[in-house]
Structure 1
Amino acid sequence: MPQPGNLVHALSTPLRWGDMDAYGHANNTVFFRFFEEARINWLTSLELGLEDAPTGPVIISTSATFLKELVHPATLEVKTYAGKAGNTSLVTHYTVTDADSGDLYAEGEAKIVWFDREARSSAPLPDKLRSLAAE
């Protein structure tokens, strides 16, 4: 599989029993939580988007493709890739794999727009993020 951008972060996380649904597998919504947790961890590691900062990220679109059934117990690796950057936005890509076997469960993406919290409008993408983006 070709990389969907520059690998910028990896997060190890367990699949919790409560992430399962009535069909006996991980509910589709938890994959978006995995993407979110990975994204927040990554941005926090860069000291960007902190709660008290004047600017931060908002998600304007997100999607996922579910490739393989995920069942408890499992330890997952969620990788974050920085894709194409715009003036105020960055496309991020995600993979969710089994930490032990490497099986790919899902792929996804989210478009981040950098947001001025006081003006309530988009703001220039921080140079730190732009430097990580794929060309």
Structure 2
Amino acid sequence: MTVPGNHVSTLTMTLRWGDMDAYGHANNTVYFRFFEEARITWLASLGVGGPEEPTGPVIIKTSATFLKELTHPATVVVETYADKAGTTSLDTYHRLVDADTGALYSEGYAKIVWFDRSARTSTALPDTLRALASSG
């Protein structure tokens, strides 16, 4: 499958021994943690949405397709893509691949809504993110 959107970030991370479950592979929640870390690192690199800022991202929908078993030891690369931008939201996609072989472990999705932390409501997506979004 081709991941939609514009490639905006790549982050390399290591699977920890404790990330594995009783079946001897990475627990499904670990994939979501990898996607989350990649998203937060990407947004921080842009200087938007930090915890001290009045606005920031919240996730209203997320999903993952698990394609290949991930076991320790492993170094993975999370590729992040920005797709369609709405007034207050941005569709993002992720690919989780093996750093050495390029094997695809998982594909993921998260819909980000930009959130005003004091008003507790959605607010306009920053222009910085809108500019990175796919036009299609």
- Specify if TM > 0.5: yes
Superposed displacement of residue 2, structure 1: 2.2
Matches within 5 A, 1:120-131: 120-131=120-131
Distance 2:54 2:133 in 1: 22
Q: Does the CA-based 8 Å contact 2:3-2:93 persist in structure 1?
A: no
Unaligned runs of 5+ in 2: none
Matches within 5 A, 1:12-31: 12-31=12-31
1:86 aligns with 2:99: no
Look up the match of 2:74. 74
Matches within 5 A, 1:49-68: 49-68=49-68
Task: After superposition, give the CA deviation of every residue in 1:14-67 in whole Å (9 maximum; x if it has no partner).
Answer: 011001000010000000000000000000000001111110000001000000
When normalised by structure 2's length, the TM-score is: 0.97
How many residue pairs were aligned?
135
Unaligned runs of 5+ in 1: none
One-letter amino acid of the structure 2 residue matched with residue 132 of structure 1: L
1:98 aligns with 2:98: yes
Residue 9 of structure 2 aligns to a residue whose secondary structure is strand
Superposed displacement of residue 4, structure 1: 1.5
Distance 1:46 1:81 in 2: 14
Where in structure 1 do 4 or more consecutive aligned residues deviate above 3 Å? none
Look up the match of 2:44. 44
Distance 2:70 2:129 in 1: 32
Distance 1:3 1:68 in 2: 17
Distance 2:100 2:124 in 1: 39
When normalised by structure 1's length, the TM-score is: 0.98
Residue 132 of structure 2 aligns to a residue whose secondary structure is coil
Q: What RMSD over aligned residues (CA atoms) do the two structures have, in Å? A: 0.7
Distance 1:93 1:18 in 2: 26
Q: Does the CA-based 8 Å contact 2:79-2:95 persist in structure 1?
A: yes
Distance 1:3 1:64 in 2: 13
One-letter amino acid of the structure 2 residue matched with residue 90 of structure 1: L
Residue 50 of structure 1 aligns to a residue whose secondary structure is coil
